[in-house]
């Protein structure tokens, strides 16, 4: 196994890279510089040793710990010949890699190997060295961190951006509406509990003066929820004529104006009626008609009580159908997103394994060529960053990671939508079927639907502001 012996950071102003393969005795536990013989260029050629370097620093690390198989002690100042002389009489090989970047940072590693498998793992470390051990200077690190750091958007700016949207206004108003309802329910409970008929004088009661005063303030807001509901309906008004026009155009283009409409028989006509597009347009038009008619009753334009009952029923029923249809589509979309995420995760694992196997193959081929050429101290195949196939594989992995991040975001939004739809389902079921449930849970379901919708719009708005 290759052993990483030392890492060193130097402040020289040049770029150098040295890969030296030297013979080392695996049986020898300790090697002393003082006992090593000096070797000139002729002796290096006789031993078939090749050294390739662009520029070598004047000094190497002062302290290098011993490895498991062999150890070499190096002094503070050491040149190429002393490195060669420190390991001449040994049989196996030692590789020294010294990387220096022009940005005043460098990394030094000394590794030893005694078999082909160890050399393979050593080449892996050399291949990964540029990816993992490269350090930016301290000034560039600060700039890089400042660029990569996410832009922090103030909370009030996000709320202002939400108020610029119709959906944001609607959901914020719904949260305020049901918050006031909850406070009114609490104030009613306090007032009934401490009324003249039920009150029992206690010393602790006088400590709750602020509580009683606050409930009186909440009680003054009892007329606010109807006005907020009216405001929300004004935000929705005006869409029904356009919905009806879309429904008519879609229906006529597939039946009346379509030359193939005569071919519609009893088999495929039900498929057309129950298609997602047709159901979405028909339910949306149905709900919009009765929602806007109910607005006329709230404004006092219509006053017929029997008609008001029917309109209220059809409004609840159409919304119930819309909730069921939305819930069905959301469950389907959630399942599709989960399958996409699973497939991408599997694809990522396969590409990672392929990349690692390709590294092993490049390492083994480069080592075999080095062994046939005696000992070679630098090989272009070791610089795997220049390999176009590896670069393409890394780009593909980054692309898959981006897709996974986007899928995680979509799944998160879909979960919020599902929870909101379930709250609406409970809320409208109580209205439609006149269920005798606890009013507190009824109000909580309305508050939960509004809060989850507002939270979804908040996250989307924050993300849009960060991407600008």
| pLDDT tens digits along 417-428 | 999 999 999 999
* Residue 280 domain-assigned (yes or no): no
The verdict on 144 and 183 lying in the same domain is no
Task: Characterize the bridge pairing of strands 52-53 and 92-101.
Answer: unpaired
Rounded distance, CA 174 to CA 448, Å? 10
Per-residue burial over 323-359, b if 16 or more Cβ lie within 10 Å, else e, is: bebbbeebeeebeebeebbeebeeebeeeeeebeeeb
What share of the chain in percent tops pLDDT 90? 41
**Which H or E run contains 111?**
strand 105-113
- pLDDT tens across 310-353, in order? 999 999 999 999 999 999 999 999 999 999 999 999 999 998 88
**357 and 455 assigned to the same domain:** yes
Classify residue 153 by its DSSP letter.
Answer: P
Is the residue at 170 inside a domain?
A: yes
Q: What is the pTM of this model?
A: 0.63
Q: Please write the tens of the pLDDT for every residue from 378-390.
A: 444 444 445 566 6
- pLDDT of 411 > 50? The answer is yes
Average pLDDT over residues 204-217: 58
pLDDT above 90 for 197: no
pLDDT of residue 66: 43
In a domain, 249, yes or no: no
Q: Are 86 and 179 part of one and the same domain?
A: no
**Are residues 456 and 333 part of one domain?**
yes
* pLDDT the model gives residue 274: 85
- Answer whether residue 454 is part of any domain: yes
Residues 68 and 210 both lie in one domain: no
Q: Residue 107 carries which DSSP code?
A: E
Residues 348 and 449 in one domain: yes
Q: At what angle do helices 439-467 and 166-193 cross, to 10 degrees?
A: 150
Q: What is the mean pLDDT of residues 32-45?
A: 42
Domain boundary among 148, 180, 200: 148
**Residue 35 lies inside a defined structural domain of this protein:** yes
Q: Which of 92, 113, 148 is the last residue of a domain?
A: 148
Helix (H) or strand (E) run with residue 112 in it: strand 105-113
Flag whether 247 is in a domain: no
3-state secondary structure of 77: strand
Q: Do 88 and 171 share a domain, yes or no?
A: no
Mark whether 163 and 119 lie in a shared domain.
no
Q: How many distinct structural domains can be found in the chain? A: 2
More confident residue, 356 or 291: 291
Q: What pLDDT is recorded for position 133?
A: 39
In a shared domain, residues 21 and 73: yes
374 is in which domain, residue-wise?
A: 156-239+325-467
Whether 338 and 201 map to the same domain: the answer is yes
Same domain, yes or no: 49 and 177: no
Pair 83, 118 in one domain: yes
275 phi and psi angles, rounded to 5 deg: -70, 155
Is residue 26 predicted with pLDDT exceeding 70?
no
Q: Select from 360, 460, 340 the least CA-distant residue to 407.
A: 340
The span from the first CA to the last CA of the chain, in angstroms, equals 50
Residue 84 domain-assigned? yes
What are 78-109's pLDDT values in tens digits? 444 444 444 444 444 444 444 444 444 444 44
Determine, yes or no, domain membership for 256. Answer: no
State how far the Cα of 427 lies from the Cα of 436, in Å rounded to an integer.
12
Last residue of a domain, one of 120, 148, 176: 148
């Amino acid at each position: 196994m290759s052993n990483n012996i030392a890492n060193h950071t130097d402040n020289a102003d040049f770029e150098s890279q040295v890969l030296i393969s030297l013979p080392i005795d695996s049986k020898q536990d300790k090697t002393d510089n003082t006992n090593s013989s000096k070797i000139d260029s002729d002796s290096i050629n006789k031993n078939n040793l090749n050294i390739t370097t662009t520029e070598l620093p004047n000094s190497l690390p002062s302290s290098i710990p011993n490895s498991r198989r062999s150890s070499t002690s190096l002094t503070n100042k050491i040149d190429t010949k002393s490195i060669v002389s420190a390991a001449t009489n040994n049989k196996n090989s030692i590789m020294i890699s010294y990387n220096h970047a022009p940005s005043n940072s460098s990394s030094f590693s000394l590794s030893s190997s005694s078999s082909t498998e160890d050399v393979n793992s050593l080449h892996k470390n050399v291949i990964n060295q540029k990816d993992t051990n490269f350090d930016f200077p301290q000034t560039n690190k600060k700039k890089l961190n400042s660029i990569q750091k996410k832009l922090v958007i103030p909370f009030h700016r996000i709320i202002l951006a939400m108020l610029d949207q119709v959906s944001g206004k609607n959901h914020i108003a719904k949260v305020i509406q049901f918050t006031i309802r909850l406070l009114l329910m609490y104030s009613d409970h306090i007032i009934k509990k401490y009324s003249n008929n039920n009150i029992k004088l206690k010393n602790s009661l006088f400590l709750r003066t602020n509580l009683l005063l606050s409930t009186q303030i909440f009680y003054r807001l009892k007329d606010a929820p109807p006005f907020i509901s009216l405001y929300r309906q004004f935000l929705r008004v005006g869409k029904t004529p356009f919905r009806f026009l879309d429904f008519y155009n879609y229906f006529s283009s597939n039946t009346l104006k379509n030359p193939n409409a005569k071919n519609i028989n009893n088999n495929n006509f039900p498929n057309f009626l129950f298609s997602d597009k047709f159901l979405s347009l028909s339910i949306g038009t149905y709900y919009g008609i009765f929602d806007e008619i109910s607005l006329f009753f709230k404004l006092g334009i219509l006053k017929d009580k029997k008609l008001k009952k029917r309109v209220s029923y059809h409004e609840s029923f159409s919304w119930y159908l819309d909730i069921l249809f939305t819930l069905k589509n959301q469950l389907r979309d959630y399942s599709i997103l989960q399958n996409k995420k699973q497939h991408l995760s599997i694809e990522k694992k396969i590409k990672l394994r392929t990349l690692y196997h390709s590294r092993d193959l490049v390492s083994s081929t480069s080592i075999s060529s080095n062994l046939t050429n005696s000992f070679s101290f630098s090989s272009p195949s070791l610089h795997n960053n220049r390999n176009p196939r590896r670069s393409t594989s890394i780009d593909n992995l980054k692309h898959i990671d981006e897709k996974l991040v986007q899928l995680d975001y979509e799944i998160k939004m879909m979960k919020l939508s599902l929870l909101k739809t379930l709250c609406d389902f409970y809320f409208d079921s109580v209205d439609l079927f006149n269920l005798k449930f606890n009013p507190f849970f009824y109000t909580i379901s309305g508050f939960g639907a509004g809060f989850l919708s507002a939270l979804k719009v908040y996250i989307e708005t924050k993300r849009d502001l960060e991407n600008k």
